[in-house]
Amino acid sequence: MPNRLFARAAAITTASLAAAFITACTTGPMPDNPSASPALNETRSGGPSRWELVRWQRAEGTLRDIPRGDNGEPIVFNFSDGIDSPQGTVSGTSGCNRFTGGYGKTDTGIRFDRMAGTRMACPGMRMEVEQALLKAMTSPLTTVGTQPSSGSTGRQIIWKTAAGDLLQFVEREGVGRRGDKVDPATGSIGGRERILYIDSQRVECTGVGKLRCYRWRESADAPWQLWYGPIEGLDFEPGVTYKLRVKEYQVPNPPADAPAIRWQLLEVVERQRGK
C-alpha cells in the first residue's frame, strides 16, 4: 500500500479509510457506496462461517506482520452461526494457540466474551501478535468496511479495535464454511480423512487446566505438535508409536474446556513398540 495513503489517513473519516484500505489491498470491484454499517452488504442465512485475518493496520498507519503456524496455519475465526448472527460460539487459532468463546452482534459491530484457550508457548512474533489480538478482543470491535464476495474472493469485513487498529478478515471456504451441515449422529461438521503419526508417550501440557497431551505430526520427519483432545477409538498403549488414519470433524459449539476439532480413529495403519 502506498505511503501517501497512510499520510492522508488523519484527514479522512474512518469509514473512508476503511473503503480505501479494502480497495488498495483486495481484488475484485468494490460497490459504488461501500457500507460502513454493522451488517454485511451480502447478508446470508445462518450457518457456520470461517474467516481469516489477512491484514492488520495499526492506528498510526503501519502494517503488522501476521505470522502463520508451524504447518502454515493462518489466524482463523470459525463462527458457529455466521458473523451476522445475534450471538453464537467462536473458535479458531489466534496465532499460536487455539481459542473458544462466545460472540454477539452489537449496534456497531461485534463483541467477544467468555474466551478461553490453550497455553502453548510459540516463537516471539507469534506470541506478540496473539497477545495483541486477544487484547483487542476484550473490547467490542466496530465495523468500518464491508465488501461482498467477488469471483474467487470471499466476503470481506474490516473491524476497528478500541485502540484504532484495523483488522481485515476474508471469508474462506473449508471446514466450518457457511452452509455446512451438522451431522446429528456426531454433533460435528464435515469430516476429512488424515494420516497422523503419534508418539509413544503422552506429555504434560497446559490448557484450561493441566492435561496429558498426545504428540503428533503429519509425516515421519515433521516436527512434533501437541494434541489436547482425545483420539476417539484409540486404545493408546504407552511405549508404542502409531500411524493412524483418522477422520477430522469441526465441532460447532465446543465447551470452553474442549477442542474445536475432533479426531475419530478409522484405522491403525502401523504400530511399533519403542526399543
User: Which of 144, 172, 200 is where one domain is finished?
Assistant: 172
Q: 3-class secondary structure for the chain?
A: CCHHHHHCHHHCCHHHHHHHHHHHHCCCCCCCCCCCCCCCCCCCCCCCEEEEEEEEECCCCCECCCCCCCCCCCCEEEECCCCCCCEEEEEEECCCCEEEEEEEECCCEEEEEEEEECCCCCCHHHHHHHHHHHHHCCCCEEEEEEECCECCECCEEEEECCCCCEEEEEEECCCCCCCCCEECCCCEEEEEEEEEEECCCCEEEECCCEEEEEEEECCCCCCCEEECCCEECCCCCCCEEEEEEEEEEECCCCCCCCCCEEEEEEEEEEEEECC
The residue that leads in pLDDT, 61 or 176, is 61
**pLDDT (tens digit, 9 = 90+) per residue, 44-68?**
445 678 899 999 999 999 999 998 8
Q: Is 138 domain-assigned? A: yes
Q: Assess whether 165 and 189 both reside in one domain.
A: no
Q: Evaluate if pTM is beyond 0.85.
A: no
Q: Assess whether 137 and 269 both reside in one domain.
A: no
- Looking at residue 53, what is its pLDDT? 94
Q: Assess whether 214 and 136 both reside in one domain.
A: no
Domain assignment of residue 201, given as a range: 182-273
The residue that leads in pLDDT, 191 or 201, is 201
Looking at every residue in the chain, the average pLDDT score rounds to 75
Q: Assess whether 162 and 189 both reside in one domain.
A: no
- CATH of residue 69: 2.40.128.270
**pLDDT (tens digit, 9 = 90+) per residue, 108-162?**
999 999 888 887 888 778 899 999 999 999 999 999 998 886 655 678 999 999 9
Confidence check: pLDDT of 259 > 50: yes
Q: Is 61 domain-assigned? A: yes
Confidence check: pLDDT of 13 > 80: no
Looking at the structure of the chain, the number of domains it has is 2
User: Which of 172, 204, 223 is where one domain is finished?
Assistant: 172
Q: Assess whether 155 and 233 both reside in one domain.
A: no
- Looking at residue 81, what is its pLDDT? 82
Q: Is 177 domain-assigned? A: no
User: Which of 115, 139, 172 is where one domain is finished?
Assistant: 172
The residue that leads in pLDDT, 23 or 270, is 270
Confidence check: pLDDT of 169 > 90: yes
The residue that leads in pLDDT, 10 or 240, is 240
